[in-house]
């Protein structure tokens, strides 16, 4: 093989024209296939630059992976691999030559791409990723540096070197691969990547492309990783042409910590973004939407196929003799002998295969939210695939949480939820009011304790003192809590009377009495952090609160009714300490998917809010345990 300058004259059968770029691990050349006169790029690995034999084998395996994965893909938005081979200068890939620049160079230079051009790039990238996901391939390293932009401004997705196939076993679970700023929370915490992880990374890329800023900025890798796992995306001024509320809502969903809460596909995410853009004409918007990939399966089905190693649930009507698509090592088809046990009282089997069974989980009353290992599955009645030992957590407002432990062979009836009954104190200003609850007068005057307040039903409360009164309605799950009800004069409501001047639009006051700070979202809008004993103004009406504090593992939602100018107490759980002991070995404890620095040796405790939590330790992804914390508790787990 003759040399020309500082690069070889040929590699394999390909004639080398010039060097396009070179780095520590290899070089890329512009070449030509003499047989068909096609220009192409040749990527060559420098094996002598890789230290150990183990690292060389790993690198070559990834090199081969890129060729194999790319060979399965056929999309105009993905760089095509033509050939893979070995040569005197090292292993090489022959791939499509793209005359253009990587997307990160556009972002760093701040070049003035129009909003339509940016959204057009997003549409192309989304279509390419969805095509890969349809083939069972997760990219795992979606970032601007892996997107080439052609001279006619079309995106090309490249570098599938760390991509994951459904039947691949090269990378062990628990190994973090990817680029920190664009990695998903589950990649950072568990080393696990699914199609939902690519959606998250693509949303980070899109956020940066449209705004010029990263959603989780930081000056060190540790800071960036902590923010991705624990904090919401940074609040910025939305890009010109995008509706503010839409921007926040779309990216709150796409960048959700829980993969199940994100958009089901990249195209679904971009479609919402297009619908939230005001500076696009109808023709432009329809043209861009027309370039998105059609949905071959629904987002729920797609996530089930790509994320869940168990078979997707078949339609209830198709039970006996239906072909079963089985995940894991490829797609296996077979006729399943279905065991059907229909019971008017509740759950029934749809099919059984090996140790997994599909049952219909139902509750009395229905509508309970079902979660498994922290992942939301839907509301009952709900068909699910369960294995022996699986634990299903069921919650419904106004009822005690229930953990259902599935046993092989179970045909569960409707699971009866127990109404939550608590002792509540009715407080008024001024005190000394008589109390009528649901048309029954109670003995005594305020402050008055009601024994066994049934949170599973609605209530009507009226308090009266002389000419003063107040009437309040409570929905299921609502309680008086620490709220003080202000009595007003009945004369003000009579015809002809002169009412006090009250501004119906005056904000109410939300008062937080928890012994810890709380990050508050009010009707989807991030209001920042409220300190202990702090307060926050809120417009009158029913307001949705999303409350969080990852330091004490608080994450809950509630609805409060705000009256003009009146204070409302926001009820939050108290704190308790959890000690975890695992044997024979110990490791760092994970609570609700959030890693801690406390080891499970029984010597240290974790302070957290009272209520239900999922506890695990690092390296034991399938061994989580639910805990209903009502006070200090010591948990022992054996592996």
Examine the residue annotation and report whether 279 is marked as an active-site residue of this protein.
no
Tokens coding 110:
């701040």
Given a contact cutoff of 8 angstroms between Cβ atoms, the answer to whether 207 and 213 are in contact is yes
The values of phi and psi at residue 551, to 5°, are -70, -25
Contacts of 39 (CB under 8 A, 6+ apart): 30, 31, 32, 97
Tokens coding 516:
């810890």
Helix (H) or strand (E) holding 65: helix 53-71
Given a contact cutoff of 8 angstroms between Cβ atoms, the answer to whether 385 and 310 are in contact is yes
DSSP string over 236-286: -PPPTTB-HHHHHHHHHHHT-SSGGGS-SSHHHHHHHHHHTBSSS-HHHHH
Given a contact cutoff of 8 angstroms between Cβ atoms, the answer to whether 543 and 598 are in contact is no
Q: Of 34, 40, 92, which is closest to residue 63 (Cα–Cα)?
A: 92
- Measured CA to CA, the distance from residue 195 to residue 104 in angstroms comes to 23
Q: Which of 75, 141, 198, 307 is catalytic?
A: 141
Q: CA 535, 539, 545: angle at the middle one, nearest 5?
A: 60
pLDDT of residue 164: 52
172: buried, middle or exposed (CB in 10 Å: 19+, 13-18, 0-12)?
exposed
- Measured CA to CA, the distance from residue 308 to residue 305 in angstroms comes to 6
Contacts of 407 (CB under 8 A, 6+ apart): 388
- Measured CA to CA, the distance from residue 157 to residue 149 in angstroms comes to 9
Residue-wise burial string across 204-234, b where 16 or more C-beta atoms lie within 10 A, e elsewhere? bbbbbbbbeebbbeeeeeeebbbbbbbebbe
- Measured CA to CA, the distance from residue 383 to residue 346 in angstroms comes to 12
- Measured CA to CA, the distance from residue 596 to residue 621 in angstroms comes to 15
Given a contact cutoff of 8 angstroms between Cβ atoms, the answer to whether 376 and 260 are in contact is yes
Contacts of 215 (CB under 8 A, 6+ apart): 203, 204, 207, 208, 233, 234, 251, 255
- Measured CA to CA, the distance from residue 213 to residue 224 in angstroms comes to 13
pLDDT of residue 123: 94
Residues 169, 175, 180, 182: is their CA dihedral positive or negative?
positive
Given a contact cutoff of 8 angstroms between Cβ atoms, the answer to whether 390 and 406 are in contact is yes
- Measured CA to CA, the distance from residue 265 to residue 275 in angstroms comes to 16
Collapse the DSSP code of 58 into the 3-class scheme (helix H, G, I; strand E, B; otherwise coil) and give the result: helix
pLDDT of residue 73: 81
- Measured CA to CA, the distance from residue 156 to residue 179 in angstroms comes to 19
pLDDT of residue 358: 62
Q: Which residues of the chain have pLDDT under 70?
A: 1-6, 23-25, 47-52, 55-56, 66-67, 70-71, 160-178, 293-358, 412-413, 490-504, 621-622
- Measured CA to CA, the distance from residue 114 to residue 134 in angstroms comes to 30
- Measured CA to CA, the distance from residue 88 to residue 8 in angstroms comes to 10
- Measured CA to CA, the distance from residue 405 to residue 283 in angstroms comes to 53
pLDDT of residue 50: 64
- Measured CA to CA, the distance from residue 312 to residue 303 in angstroms comes to 9
pLDDT of residue 420: 93
Collapse the DSSP code of 583 into the 3-class scheme (helix H, G, I; strand E, B; otherwise coil) and give the result: strand
pLDDT of residue 621: 67
Q: Of 83, 40, 48, 38, which is closest to residue 63 (Cα–Cα)?
A: 83
Q: Where are the alpha helices (DSSP H) in 89-234?
A: 103-109, 115-134, 185-190, 195-211, 221-230
pLDDT of residue 297: 34
């Amino acid at each position: 093989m003759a040399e020309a300058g500082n690069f070889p004259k040929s590699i394999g059968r390909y004639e080398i024209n010039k060097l396009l770029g070179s780095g520590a691990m290899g070089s890329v050349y512009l070449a030509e296939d003499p047989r068909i006169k096609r220009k192409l790029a040749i990527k060559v690995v420098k094996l002598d630059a890789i230290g150990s034999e183990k690292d060389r084998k790993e690198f070559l395996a990834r090199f081969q992976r890129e060729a194999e994965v790319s060979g399965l893909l056929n999309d105009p938005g993905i760089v095509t691999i033509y050939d893979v081979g070995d040569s005197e200068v090292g292993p090489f890939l022959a791939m499509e030559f793209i005359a253009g620049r990587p997307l990160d160079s556009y972002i760093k230079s701040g070049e003035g791409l129009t909003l339509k051009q940016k959204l057009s790039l997003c549409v192309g990238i989304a279509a390419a990723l969805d095509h890969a996901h349809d083939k069972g391939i997760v990219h795992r390293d979606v970032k601007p540096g892996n997107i080439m932009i052609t001279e006619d401004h079309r995106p090309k997705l490249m570098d599938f070197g760390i991509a994951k196939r459904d039947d691949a076993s090269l990378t062990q679970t628990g190994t973090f691969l990817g680029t920190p700023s664009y990695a998903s929370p589950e990649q950072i915490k568990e080393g696990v990547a699914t199609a939902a992880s690519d959606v998250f990374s693509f949303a980070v890329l899109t956020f940066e492309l449209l705004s010029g800023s990263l959603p989780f900025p930081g000056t060190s890798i540790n800071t960036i990783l902590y923010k991705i796992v624990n904090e919401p995306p940074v609040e910025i001024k939305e890009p010109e042409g995008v509706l503010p509320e839409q921007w926040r809502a779309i990216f709150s969903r796409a960048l959700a910590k829980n993969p199940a809460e994100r958009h089901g596909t990249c195209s679904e995410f971009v479609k919402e973004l297009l619908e939230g853009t005001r500076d696009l004409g109808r023709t432009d918007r329809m043209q861009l939407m027309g370039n998105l990939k059609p949905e071959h399966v629904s987002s729920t089905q797609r996530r089930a196929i790509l994320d869940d190693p168990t078979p997707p649930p078949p339609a209830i009507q198709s039970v006996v003799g239906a072909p079963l698509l089985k995940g894991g090592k490829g797609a296996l088809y077979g006729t399943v002998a279905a065991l059907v046990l229909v019971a008017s009282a509740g759950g029934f089997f749809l099919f059984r295969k090996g140790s997994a069974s599909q049952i219909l989980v139902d509750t009395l009353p229905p509508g309970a939210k079902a979660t498994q290992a922290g992942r939301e599955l839907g509301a009952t009645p709900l068909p699910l695939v369960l294995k022996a030992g699986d634990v299903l957590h069921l919650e419904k407002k106004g009822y005690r949480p229930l953990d259902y432990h599935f046993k092989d062979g179970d045909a569960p009836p409707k699971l009866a939820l127990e109404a939550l009954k608590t002792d509540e104190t009715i407080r008024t200003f001024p005190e000394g009011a008589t109390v009528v609850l649901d048309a029954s007068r109670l003995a005594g005057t305020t402050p008055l304790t009601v024994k066994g307040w049934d949170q599973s039903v609605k209530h009507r409360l009226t308090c009266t003192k002389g000419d003063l009164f107040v009437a309040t309605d409570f929905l299921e799950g609502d309680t008086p809590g620490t709220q003080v009800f202000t009595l007003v004069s009945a004369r003000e409501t009579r015809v002809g009377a002169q009412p006090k001047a009250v501004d119906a639009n005056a904000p109410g006051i939300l008062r937080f009495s928890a012994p810890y700070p709380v990050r508050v979202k009010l009707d989807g809008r991030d209001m920042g952090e409220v300190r202990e004993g702090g307060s926050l103004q809120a417009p009158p009406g029913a307001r949705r609160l999303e409350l969080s504090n990852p330091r004490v593992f608080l994450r809950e939602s509630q609805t409060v009714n705000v009256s003009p100018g009146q204070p409302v107490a926001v009820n939050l759980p108290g704190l308790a300490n959890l000690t975890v002991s695992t044997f024979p070995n110990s490791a760092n404890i994970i609570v609700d998917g959030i890693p801690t620095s406390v080891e499970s040796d029984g010597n240290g405790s974790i302070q957290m809010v009272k209520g239900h939590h999922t506890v695990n330790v690092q390296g034991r992804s399938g061994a989580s345990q639910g805990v209903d914390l009502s006070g200090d508790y010591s948990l022992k787990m054996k592996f």
